[in-house]
């Protein structure tokens, strides 16, 4: 494109900046220079002026500062240093402005109260020091403030109150522990009965100084004479002569030396304590025979920390929950956990008033969270974390009850660091046992629940009880506790016991009590089938009596005016069911099921225990007829399901920790069983076996046992046994035969099978015993058929 002449000759603009002439002149103007000789340094002069000002101020105010310092020393003494330190710390806290919470305020107030109380302690010292005109010999180390605390009684009381409050606010846990220790010391001092002991000593001392009258001497002779019991008119024998045969005292009873000296109890000296009247000359044992309910106090556990740990552990797995209750029992502590909510949200952009997107100062869009859905946390999410909770709580095992019956919570049962024994006396003296005993005479003390509440049960309502647990889990102690509960509230006219103990040592202590229906504890396995048959005969006899009078059960029979006498309750206790099932499985199962189905109305109740809860011992028929069960610690979940139809017994801790499944509950209850010692059992047995009740002891019913055994013998030991041909057929089809094989094949008991083996041996069909259990068959099937005429 051609360029014009004007554009061609136009001067080019320069890009350099040219300041305005006026501005350039201003920029080049300089300040007039001052000669160096005129410059004087100002810093030294300012320092000298400051020193002079401070000196003047100190010279003017020195008397005032000294007077103020001496006044503070008079007021606070050496504690002035504490005031300075406290003021410095408070100022530093005020500058930092920490987050104020209750714990910080509590500790701050406690420390200040302790500092205030320290002035009273300093006032007790008067050192030979002097600062200026202040002499600490006159003022004391605590100053006038310390003198206020120690100078009068109200001041001392205020000093002690301030110190106690400071300690409480600073360390509440230590204060609680000290309070418990002080209460324990006061209880120990009160239990010594020092005033009564001193009064008794003084009374006896002054009484010994007075002359004794002849009447008092005669009374002393009567008191020292032996007591001759007055027997009933039916007693035909000559009563014992106290001059020849003194009455049996506790010291003369056979047994351990400390038979009546339990832990923490004084031994009964001389005579037994007075009993509770029960009618017809009987007296129930007093509760003084049992040890005091002095349970071991649990060591304080920080349950709040454990509850917070449970919440944090669940939150780490994405489970929202909170602990709403804490119940501490003798063995475990139950934390009631309430499931939270699962909330789903979404991010929604925020908008201003005009509907445009809102942004923050950094230019980022502002958003808000909006709840989309809100659902409850599933229960199985919490139950599935049992092992994780046990790991977090450092517990050997935990049990989760989901949900707790009657409450909208999940119970997490955590073992305590220390366990306490539940004395049977504490349960018997409870309100729960009193209510159960008022309804029936067969109340038993179970123990205490997870919350520490006493629990009792009525055996008449169960009506039969199955107890199972591994060795050492507390099964035998539970049976002893049940027997002790029954003996403490029933006379031999109201209760008869049938004790079956194949192990021979568990129930041997009760062999001499008058409550036994038979004259001994049944220990021989061969007698057990006959014993159960005798009990069945007693049941049938009672049903015939009920039909004659027209009543339905034992309660109506005992209340009927047509009844000639009252019928006692029978409680049959079998300590080891596995031994019975090994000896005679078919007959024992049949007899137990028959009794369990029909014996309730006649007042006969069964308590069966076993330490091997397998399906071949606790069969389906037995379990169906024993609705009330107690499961102690077992080794596997399979055994737990065999006992209570569910898991949980494999997580028990042993030593009396059990699950009680009543008939009216859908889930078992966890209970720490009541404990009764051997000494307490021997006290109860010695009470019932004393001479005062010898003439009242009811007759034993051994004739029932003899009749049952006679029927069994006449049925099983006859030469014309109807099962002989069947036994012979089984023998000739095998090369060897044994008693147990005939039991299984013919569904008979051991005595009858052994007799059949003897008959086969007499007829030359089987050989003699060779040291083993099986015998060789001497003839074959063809020869046996040829010899049929001989057997006919």
Query: Which three-class secondary structure state does DSSP give residue 684?
Result: helix
201 Cβ contact list (under 8 Å, min separation 6): none
Q: What is the pLDDT of residues 584-595, one digit of tens each?
A: 888 888 899 999
The pTM of this model reads 0.57
**Residue 80 scores a pLDDT above 80:** no
Query: Tokens representing 479?
Result: 């049976």
**Residue 337 scores a pLDDT above 90:** yes
Work out the pLDDT band at 148, boundaries 50, 70, 90. Answer: confident
Q: How far apart are CA 607 and CA 609, in angstroms?
A: 7
Closest CA to 233 of 284, 282, 283, 281: 281
Contact 655, 420 (CB under 8 A): no
**Residue 164 scores a pLDDT above 90:** no
**Residue 619 scores a pLDDT above 50:** yes
| Confidence at residue 223, expressed as pLDDT on a 0 to 100 scale | 45
Averaged pLDDT, 636-649: 89
Q: How far apart are CA 103 and CA 101, in angstroms?
A: 6
| Per-residue CA distances from 228 to 224, 468, 606, 660, 767 (Å) | 12, 48, 41, 48, 66
Work out the pLDDT band at 258, boundaries 50, 70, 90. Answer: very low
| Per-residue CA distances from 149 to 90, 142, 617 (Å) | 24, 10, 78
| Confidence at residue 229, expressed as pLDDT on a 0 to 100 scale | 41
Closest CA to 310 of 394, 406, 380, 375: 394
Q: Which residue has the tokens 């302690």?
A: 121
Work out the pLDDT band at 226, boundaries 50, 70, 90. Answer: very low
Q: What is the pLDDT of residues 484-541, one digit of tens each?
A: 999 999 988 899 999 999 888 889 999 989 889 888 899 888 888 888 989 999 999 9
Q: How far apart are CA 50 and CA 4, in angstroms?
A: 81
Query: Tokens representing 539?
Result: 């049941």
| Confidence at residue 359, expressed as pLDDT on a 0 to 100 scale | 84
**Residue 571 scores a pLDDT above 90:** yes
Work out the pLDDT band at 68, boundaries 50, 70, 90. Answer: confident
525 Cβ contact list (under 8 Å, min separation 6): 502, 579, 580, 583, 750
| Confidence at residue 487, expressed as pLDDT on a 0 to 100 scale | 93
| Confidence at residue 42, expressed as pLDDT on a 0 to 100 scale | 67
Q: What is the pLDDT of residues 309-320, one digit of tens each?
A: 999 999 999 999
| Confidence at residue 93, expressed as pLDDT on a 0 to 100 scale | 75
| Confidence at residue 227, expressed as pLDDT on a 0 to 100 scale | 42
Averaged pLDDT, 47-72: 73
Q: How far apart are CA 690 and CA 250, in angstroms?
A: 10
Q: Which has more confidence, 227 or 336? A: 336
Contact 451, 430 (CB under 8 A): no
Instruction: Note the Cα 791 to chain centre separation in Å.
Output: 67
> Any idea how long the chain is?
792
Query: Which three-class secondary structure state does DSSP give residue 458?
Result: strand
Q: How far apart are CA 334 and CA 399, in angstroms?
A: 9
């Amino acid at each position: 494109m051609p360029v014009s002449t004007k554009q061609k000759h136009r001067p080019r603009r320069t890009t350099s900046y040219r300041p305005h002439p006026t501005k350039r002149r201003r920029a080049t103007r300089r300040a007039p220079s001052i000669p160096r000789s005129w410059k004087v340094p100002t810093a030294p002069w300012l320092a000298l002026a400051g020193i002079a000002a401070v000196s003047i101020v100190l010279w003017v105010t020195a008397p005032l500062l000294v007077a103020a310092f001496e006044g503070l020393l008079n007021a606070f003494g050496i504690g002035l240093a504490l005031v300075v330190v406290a003021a410095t710390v408070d100022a530093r806290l005020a500058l930092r402005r920490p987050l104020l919470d209750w714990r910080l305020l509590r500790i701050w107030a406690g420390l200040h109260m302790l500092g205030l109380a320290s002035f009273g302690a300093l006032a007790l010292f008067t050192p030979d020091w002097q600062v200026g005109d202040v002499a600490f010999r006159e003022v004391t180390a605590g100053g006038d403030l310390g003198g206020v605390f120690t100078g009068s009684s109200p001041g001392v009381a205020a000093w002690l109150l301030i110190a106690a409050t400071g300690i409480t606010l600073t360390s509440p846990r230590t204060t609680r522990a000290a309070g418990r220790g002080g209460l324990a010391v006061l209880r120990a001092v009160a239990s010594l009965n020092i005033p009564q002991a001193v009064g008794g000593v003084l009374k006896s001392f002054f009484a010994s100084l007075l002359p004794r009258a002849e009447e008092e001497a005669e009374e002393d002779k009567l008191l020292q004479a032996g007591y001759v019991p007055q027997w009933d008119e039916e007693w035909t024998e000559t009563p014992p002569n106290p001059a020849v045969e003194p009455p049996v005292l506790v010291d003369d009873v056979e047994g351990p030396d400390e038979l009546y000296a339990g832990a923490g109890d004084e031994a009964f000296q001389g005579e037994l304590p007075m009993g509770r009247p029960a009618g017809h000359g009987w007296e129930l044992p007093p509760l003084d025979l049992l040890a005091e309910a002095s349970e071991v106090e649990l060591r304080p556990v920080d349950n709040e920390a454990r509850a917070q740990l449970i919440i944090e552990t669940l939150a780490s797995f994405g489970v929202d929950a909170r602990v709403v209750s804490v119940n501490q029992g003798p063995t475990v502590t139950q934390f009631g956990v309430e499931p939270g909510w699962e909330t789903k949200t979404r991010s929604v952009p925020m908008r201003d008033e005009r509907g445009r997107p809102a942004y923050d100062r950094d230019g980022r869009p502002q958003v808000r969270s909006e709840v989309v859905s809100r659902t409850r946390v599933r229960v199985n999410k919490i139950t599935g974390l049992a092992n994780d909770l046990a790991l977090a709580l450092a517990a050997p095992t935990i049990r989760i009850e989901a949900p707790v019956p009657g409450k909208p919570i999940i119970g997490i049962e955590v073992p305590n660091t220390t366990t306490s024994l539940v004395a049977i006396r504490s349960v018997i003296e409870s309100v729960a046992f009193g209510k159960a005993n008022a309804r029936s005479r067969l109340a038993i003390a179970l123990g205490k629940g997870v919350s520490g509440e006493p629990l009792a049960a009525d055996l008449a309502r169960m009506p039969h009880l199955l107890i199972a647990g591994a060795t050492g889990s507390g099964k035998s102690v539970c049976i002893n506790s049940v027997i002790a509960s029954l003996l403490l509230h029933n006379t031999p006219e109201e209760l008869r016991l049938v004790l079956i103990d194949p192990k021979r040592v568990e129930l041997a202590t009760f062999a001499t009590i008058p409550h036994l229906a038979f004259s001994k504890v049944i220990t021989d396995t061969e007698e057990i089938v006959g014993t159960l048959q005798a009990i069945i005969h007693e049941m049938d006899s009672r049903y015939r009596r009920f039909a004659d009078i027209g009543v339905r059960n034992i309660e109506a029979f005992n209340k009927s005016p047509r009844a000639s006498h009252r019928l006692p309750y029978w409680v049959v206790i079998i300590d080891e069911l596995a031994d019975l099932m090994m000896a005679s499985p078919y007959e024992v199962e049949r007899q137990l099921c028959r009794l369990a189905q029909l014996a309730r109305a006649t007042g006969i109740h069964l308590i069966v225990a076993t330490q091997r809860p397998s399906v071949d011992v606790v069969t389906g028929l037995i379990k169906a007829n024993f609705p009330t069960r107690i499961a102690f610690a077992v080794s596997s979940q399979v055994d737990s399901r065999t006992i209570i139809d569910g898991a949980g017994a494999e997580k028990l801790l042993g030593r009396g920790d059990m699950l009680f499944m009543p008939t009216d509950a859908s889930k078992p209850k966890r209970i720490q069983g009541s404990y009764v010692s051997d000494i307490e059992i021997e006290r109860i047995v010695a009470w019932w076996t004393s001479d005062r009740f010898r003439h009242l002891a009811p007759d034993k019913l051994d004739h029932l046992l003899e009749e049952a055994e006679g029927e069994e013998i006449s049925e099983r030991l006859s030469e014309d046994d109807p099962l002989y041909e069947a036994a012979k057929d089984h023998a000739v089809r095998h090369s060897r035969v044994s008693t147990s094989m005939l039991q299984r094949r013919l569904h008979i008991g051991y005595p009858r099978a052994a007799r059949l083996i003897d008959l086969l041996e007499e007829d030359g069909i089987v050989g003699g015993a060779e040291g083993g259990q099986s015998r060789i068959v001497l003839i074959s099937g063809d020869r046996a058929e040829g010899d049929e005429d001989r057997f006919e």
